[in-house]
Amino acid sequence: MGKRPAEDELFVGNMGSIQWEIRSSMQRENSLTMETGLERIAEKARSEPRLRFTSLAHHITRERVWTNLCQIPKRSAPGVDGQTVTEAKERFGEWVDNMLQSVHRQGYRAPDIRRVYIPKPGKQEKRPLGVPCVNDRALQRSTAQVLSAIYETDFLPCSFGGRPERGAHQALATLNEVIAGGKVSWVLEADLKNFFGSLNHEWVLRFVEHRVGDPRLISLIRRWLKAGILEDGAVHPNEEGTPQGGSISVMLSNVYLHYVLDLWFERVVKPRLRGEAYLIRYIDDFVMCFQYREDALRVQAALCKRLGKFGLTLEPTKTKLVEFGRFAQRHATKHGRKRPETIYFLGFTLYCTRNLKGNFKVDTGGEFGDGRKSRALRHFDSRMRMSLRESRRFLIDNLSFHLILQSMDGHVTSIAPNRPDS
């Protein structure tokens, strides 16, 4: 076979077949605390980016499971077993040891997932949501914590959502910084069709195995992927996808798109473009920003082929290329238009405008998509019944978000205040 043309390399890339060396990871040290153990994993992952960790399951301890169980809201819906959070805490000593032993002997049987449907804001269609059993949820959270110690050193700065200190606030602030400060004239809004339901199990495991060589964790993840779906009184096998709702689903989704999208864009695509380009991704919701239209069109065509290789597709009705940015603002003014088209990201409609000094800015203008205002009001009303401690945290979080929106309007310079410990 001859050498693949450069254009084909852009279309397909080669990030899905990386082979990492297999080396033994750290051994268990009983004297270490849970936090110190994860810190050692993180430091090892940071210093040896090609290392596969072959001994991780012992970090999923009784104490870690209990800590994560206590972090699950008391009003969380029960799974197929009907056990509430309070009941799981009361019976903790009855089930935790058997559960951990089954993990170590690779015999853990993931309970079925109860599927419910919740309405999509502002739409008639509904979104499927998986509700795991409470004890399984605590195990998922614990496992995700251990995996996070590794992958937080691998994930790229363009990745947000399901990560510490990298939520929607930071994603919006980064998008604003890129558009306002970079040479951005075109934005590609992308929407992945049925993302959580389309994840290929084989690819998920292959991606995880780049860094995880512990057969107990690989077996555990495989059991979660294959867990049955309880719907309308019948259990259905799950051959692809991961139910949206579990902690492990968010982690696996970020790992999947780290290899499928983030690395491909940064290492394969960007070096082949003529101008500047940026990616901002919040779990499965992402936008790509470009300096030149021809770069944007080229990547858009390549993106479809890249995603198709891994079983993903773009939703054509929700994917569009928009002229957007400070240069687009000048172009629109020359052609007699008030402003360029708007873009939609994380529930906010963003548009180009100018501040009182005539400088370019990205504005939200209080415009929300899909009934976000009414949802926010209902959410705030429900929070009126919180305790003083909960109210304090709620106000800090919302003040932080409010200051980000103000910074996008040009009113303040700081993005968010330092959050005091509760």
Write the DSSP assignment of 82-137 as a string of letters: ---HHHHHHTHHHHHHHHHHHHHTT---PPPEEEEEEEPTTSSSEEEEEE--HHHH
pLDDT band at 236 (very low <50, low <70, confident <90, very high): confident
**3-state DSSP call for residue 354?**
strand
Q: DSSP class of residue 231?
A: E
Tokens of 364: 């939200």
CA nearest neighbour of 22 among 216, 210, 220: 210
Which residues fall within 8 angstroms of residue 190, CB to CB, at 6 or more apart?
A: 286, 287, 288, 303, 314, 319
Q: What is the DSSP letter of 278?
A: E
- pLDDT, residue 160, reads 95
Tell me the average pLDDT across 379-388: 50
Q: 60-116: per-residue pLDDT in tens? A: 999 999 999 999 999 999 999 999 999 999 999 999 999 999 999 999 999 999 988
- Dist. CA 50–CA 54, nearest whole Å: 13
Give the model's confidence band at 384: pLDDT under 50 very low, under 70 low, under 90 confident, else very high: very low
Q: Minimal CA–CA distance to 128: which of 114, 108, 107?
A: 114
Whether 33 contacts 59, CB under 8 Å:
no
- Does pLDDT of 56 surpass 90? yes
* Single-letter amino acid, residue 234: A
Decide: 196 and 243 in contact? Cβ < 8 Å: yes
The pTM is what? 0.79
* pLDDT tens digits, 309-344: 999 999 988 899 999 887 776 776 666 666 678 888
Q: At residue 364, does pLDDT exceed 50?
A: yes
Q: Are 101 and 117 in contact (CB under 8 A)?
A: no
Strand pairing category for 234-236 and 229-231? antiparallel
Query: How would you class 239 by CB atoms within 10 Å of its CB: exposed for 0-12, middle for 13-18, buried for 19 or more?
Result: exposed
Least confident of 86-100, 149-163, 367-381: 367-381
